[in-house]
Amino acid sequence: MHYLITGHTGFKGSWLSLMLQMQGHTVSGISLAPLKRSLFNQARISTIFENDFRVDIRNLQELNQAVKKIEPEVIIHLAAQPLVRESYKDPVGTFETNVLGTLNLLETTKELSGLQATLVITTDKVYKNNNHLRGYIEAEMLGGDDPYSASKAAADIATQSWIKSFATSPVAIARAGNVIGGGDWATDRIIPDLVDAYTLNLLPSLRYPNAIRPWQHVLDCLNGYQMLINRMIVDGESGEWNFGPLLDEKYSVAELVETFAKYWKVNNEEQSWNLEEAPQPHEAGYLLLDSSKARERLGWCDKLDFEHSIQMTVEWYKQSVTKNPLEVTMNQVRSFLETC
Sketch the domain layout of the chain as residue ranges: 2-338
The fourth-level CATH superfamily of domain 2-338 is NAD(P)-binding Rossmann-like Domain (3.40.50.720)
pLDDT tens per residue across span 220-254: 999 999 999 999 999 999 999 999 998 888 899 99
Q: Which amino acid is at 192?
A: P
Distance CA 153, CA 145 (A): 10
CA–CA–CA angle 118, 121, 122 (5° rounding): 140
Please state the rounded mean pLDDT for residues 328-332: 97
Q: H or E element: which one contains 29?
A: strand 26-31
Q: Which amino acid is at 109?
A: T
Distance CA 337, CA 340 (A): 8
State how far Cα 206 lies from the chain centre: 22
Residue 340 has pLDDT above 70, yes or no: no
3-state secondary structure of 244: coil
pLDDT tens per residue across span 105-163: 999 999 899 999 999 999 999 999 887 778 999 999 999 999 999 999 999 999 999 99
Report the 10 Å Cβ neighbour count for 267. 8
User: What number of H helices and E strands is found in the chain?
Assistant: 13, 13
The DSSP bridge partners found for residue 30 are 6, 53
Residue 280 has pLDDT above 70, yes or no: no
Share of the chain above pLDDT 70, in %: 96
Distance CA 173, CA 100 (A): 16
Distance CA 169, CA 128 (A): 29
Interhelix angle 325-338/218-235, nearest 10 degrees: 60
Find, among 248, 304, 254, the residue nearest to 134 by Cα. 248
Identify the pLDDT of residue 248: 85
The DSSP bridge partners found for residue 54 are 31
Distance CA 241, CA 56 (A): 27
pLDDT tens per residue across span 79-100: 999 988 899 999 999 999 999 9
